[in-house]
């Protein structure tokens, strides 16, 4: 069985001093983890984190990557730049990027493609809003979001990580029930199976108010292969 992957998403939080304290405490408390661990941090801190996590079990992650290779794209960071800092993962299509930065399914798909081309593992985020869930459109929405990424990436799809994050559960303290989460994960798994004979290798993470109290139950579900943890990743004992 593959190891679970627990990825922290710091979002726009941190400072040089706070990051150092947080990472050193995590490393001190972590021992040899039974799961894979990643931290997705603001890009200005990648150099700091590269030094802090060097040689440890923590894999470095970014929160976004440009869909472009190089050139006149002010404010963007390319996959090749991320690789220079030993970055292994990058979030792609987080709902906050879709919502506040107008990222479409097509943009998200090409970001995933660029990440793979640069040797990064894209953690592709999908998830429905509350209005979409209430309208009975959850499956339709997440399948459409994932289909765009599958279409753009063909057989490389087995190299991605998928994160199911119901938008209504992000930062709200409202977690999807284990049944709700498992149900959507199973839908995503079968969609991946239809696209690749390696679908069992793909980690499908749950995200949205995952915390120390609910993680074990969510992670016990057959199709939940890990977590994408926001708020709780900033608190050492909770993340540990
Ligand atoms: P949360 O965030 O754990 O604070 O809900 C998860 C995420 O947005 O990745």
Q: Give the residue carrying structure tokens 């408390």.
A: 29
Q: Looking at residue 42, what DSSP letter applies?
A: -
pLDDT tens string 82-119: 999 999 999 999 999 999 999 999 999 999 999 999 99
Beta strands in 42-128 (DSSP E): 58-62, 87-92, 121-126
The residue to mutate among 166, 210, 227, having the most atoms of ligand 1 within 8 angstroms of its beta carbon, is 210
Supply the pLDDT for residue 86: 98
CB of 230 sitting under 6 A from ligand 1: yes
Q: Is the dihedral of CA 43, 224, 162, 96 positive or negative?
A: negative
What pLDDT score was predicted for residue 47?
98
pLDDT tens column, 3-21? 999 999 999 999 999 999 9
Q: Of 151, 30, 11, nearest to 95 (Cα)?
A: 11
pLDDT in tens, 153-211: 988 999 999 999 999 999 898 888 999 999 999 999 999 999 999 999 999 999 999 99
Mean pLDDT across the chain:
97
Encode burial over 190-228: b for 16+ CB neighbours within 10 A, e otherwise: ebbeebbeebeebbbbbbbbbbeebbeebbebebbbbbb
Selecting among 159, 165, 185, 203, the annotated active-site residue is: 165
Q: Given this model, what pLDDT does residue 46 score?
A: 98
Return the percentage of the chain with pLDDT > 70, whole number: 100
CA of 234 to the centre of ligand 1 (A): 11
**How far apart are alpha carbons 89 and 49 in whole angstroms?**
13
For 209-231, write each residue's pLDDT tens digit. Answer: 999 999 999 999 999 999 999 99
Question: Does residue 54 have a pLDDT over 90?
Answer: yes
pLDDT at 1 over 80: no
CATH superfamily ID and name for 5-239? Aldolase class I (3.20.20.70)
Q: What number is the average pLDDT over the span 59-73?
A: 98
Residue 127 Cβ < 6 Å to ligand 1: no
């Amino acid at each position: 069985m593959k190891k679970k992957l627990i990825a922290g998403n710091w979002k726009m939080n941190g400072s040089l001093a706070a990051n150092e304290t947080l990472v050193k405490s995590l490393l001190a408390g972590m021992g040899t983890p039974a799961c894979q661990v990643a931290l997705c941090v603001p890009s200005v801190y990648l150099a700091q984190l590269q030094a802090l996590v060097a040689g440890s079990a923590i894999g470095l992650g970014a929160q976004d990557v440009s869909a472009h290779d190089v050139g006149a794209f002010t404010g963007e960071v390319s996959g090749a730049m991320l690789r220079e800092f030993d970055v292994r993962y990058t979030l792609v299509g987080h709902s906050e990027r879709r919502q506040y930065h107008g990222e479409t399914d097509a943009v998200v798909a090409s970001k995933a493609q660029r990440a793979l081309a640069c040797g990064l593992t894209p953690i592709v985020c999908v998830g429905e809003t509350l209005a979409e869930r209430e309208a009975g459109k959850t499956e339709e929405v997440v399948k459409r979001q994932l289909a765009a990424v599958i279409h753009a990436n063909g057989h490389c799809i087995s190299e991605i990580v998928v994160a199911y994050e119901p938008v209504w559960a992000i930062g709200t303290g409202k977690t999807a029930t284990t049944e709700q989460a498992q149900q959507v994960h199973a839908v995503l798994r079968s969609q991946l199976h239809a696209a690749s004979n390696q679908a069992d290798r793909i980690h499908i993470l749950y995200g949205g108010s995952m915390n120390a109290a609910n993680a074990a139950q969510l992670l016990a579900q057959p199709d939940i292969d890990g977590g994408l943890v926001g708020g709780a990743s900033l608190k050492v004992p909770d993340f540990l």
